[in-house]
Chains A and B, each alone.
Chain A
Amino acid sequence: MKLKKAYRVWQRNLTVYTKRYKSSLVLNFVEPVLYLVALGFGLGAFVKEINGVPYIKFLAPGLIASSSMFAATFECTYGTYIRMTYQKTFDAILVTPINIDDLVAGELLWGATKGTFYGIIIIVVLSIFGLVDSPYIVLTIPLIFISGLIFAEIAVMASAVIPGIDSFNYFNTLFMTPMFLFSGIFFPLDTLPPAVAKFAFFTPLYHVVNIARSFSSGHIKNSVPDIIWIVIVASLLLPYPFRLMHRRIIK
């Protein structure tokens, strides 16, 4: 894998994205804001406080994590799959000096970039709403890139093994939705049965939520184990998207 060739793939995706960012940008930012308003103000009127924090402030940092997760995941599930299967972009690229490893690396980097970008947008929105207490929140940006890489890795692996695009429904229902609900974004997990908390520990989103929450409140040290977790998992998963895509494409 050559980084410069991976960059060419990343650059291609950026060029295409800049052509239609206006429509997709708005969509990606509307959803977290809807959660913020509906749950933050709606549910927040009843819940008032969690761990001494007003509910909307408890909720807000988690949306940085989830928005980033959905952006990276959609990019490398539907986006990657469409480029590979329907638009045949991969076939066009693979007859140039770019090889399959460069291509997969470019897709992963692009997914992580998009995740980071959407995380940043939510950070800006939350700051405007006055929901961020600490300037340390800026330091989450490189960490969101690492977690974005994890989501991109998982998504590219899914794209490499599914038989058809409808199979992403299983991926979303059985993996993404439970992860989203039990990540600690909406309520602390310590009130739930220990099995659920254990499940959450093994999902990346839970750790990204912890990171965003501690950086947002300024208690950075709390999230050291979570930072270690995402760095280790991002590295451990790295070989698999390459292997699985190799198996799918090179016959």
Chain B
Amino acid sequence: MKNLLFLTLKSIRYRPIRSWLTILGIIIGIMLVVIILSLGSGIQNAVARVLQSFGSDLIVIFPGKETNPFLGFAGGQKFKKDDILDLKAISGVNLVMPMSIAILNTEFLGEKKSVMFHSQPWREMRIISEESKGVSLIEGYWPGNDETREVVLGYRAAYKLFKNKPKVGDDIIIKGRRFRVAGIFSEVGLQDEDNQMYLSHRNFEELISRPGFASAAVITAEKGSNIDLVAKQIKFQLSKQEVVSDFSVLTPEKANKVVGDVLSIIELVLIIIALISLIVGAVGIMNTMYTSVLERTKQIGIMKAIGASSSAILSLFLIESGMIGAVGGIIGIVMGIAAAYIVSLIAAGLGIRGLFSFASLDFLGFAAILTVTFITGILAGVLPAKQAASMEPAEALRYE
């Protein structure tokens, strides 16, 4: 066996370019699988972290389908603010926080920027943030009421946006009006949120063209209440309003599930693509093996003439194709990890951290990938190897 391995290595090295091109076919497939597996759980975790920051007794309401909450939040239909505030009457509802967003022109010490503004009532936001251990202030204070002209900055909005970093107590001009910086939020880790600035709903409505609407809302349930029942009642009551016909009421559990579902569909699609590329790789191996059987027909004859049995020839070719598969697997894993790591570094640069993880890719996973590629290689080699082994030596020797 050791000797057969040696012979195989020699013959692979005799045709280096062809061998490497074949191996490349496998590498690409495996690389894809590894990237998907090592980033997939990271993405899921990142999304779960965002959801957790809302807390476990929160219900989120937004227009549109559950599967695209961010799209619904960003544009499209809006709830009437009063319809949202009316939800307070439902038993089990503790707080209602209507939210809106808009991009507004902002100026600090003469430097002008377009900034995404998030609006909400301060009292509710403060309570929800403190309870759910979401954002917290790292500087300054929570504005005491919704009337004072005060703004709270997201982490990046405070420290990265302007050349001269605004401090607590500084004035910022928003759409021509002067607001005082009351505080700065801690870093969330998501660029969109960290770049935002926060205004009270009342201040916000003075700055926009269509007041009286809310893009979404966060509702907290009372302690001990049945959150699913509360969500159901909210849904029922909202179905009576006519502004937004298609909306979603999301509990944390459901949100997690929805995100998980979406991610698993994406993961599934990517894995199917990876499998297809693995199959393409296998066809590549088969093609190479057929060519190399043809090319080495005479040498097969020679080896048989000097005593190689059909099974020895079969083993030689199967080891060769298996080795091509396994080497492709090993390199694919290494390159996949490297690529995933680079992607996660880039994502971290954009504010999304901890994407890369070995959570769904332990040593058992690597062993499985290597086994699969080795077997794929062997299977791809079976037909050509059989053809090689079944040749009569005299016939093979005549081949030029």
Asked whether A and B interact, the reply is no
Q: Which residues of B contact A (CB under 8 A)?
A: none
Q: Which residues of A contact B (CB under 8 A)?
A: none
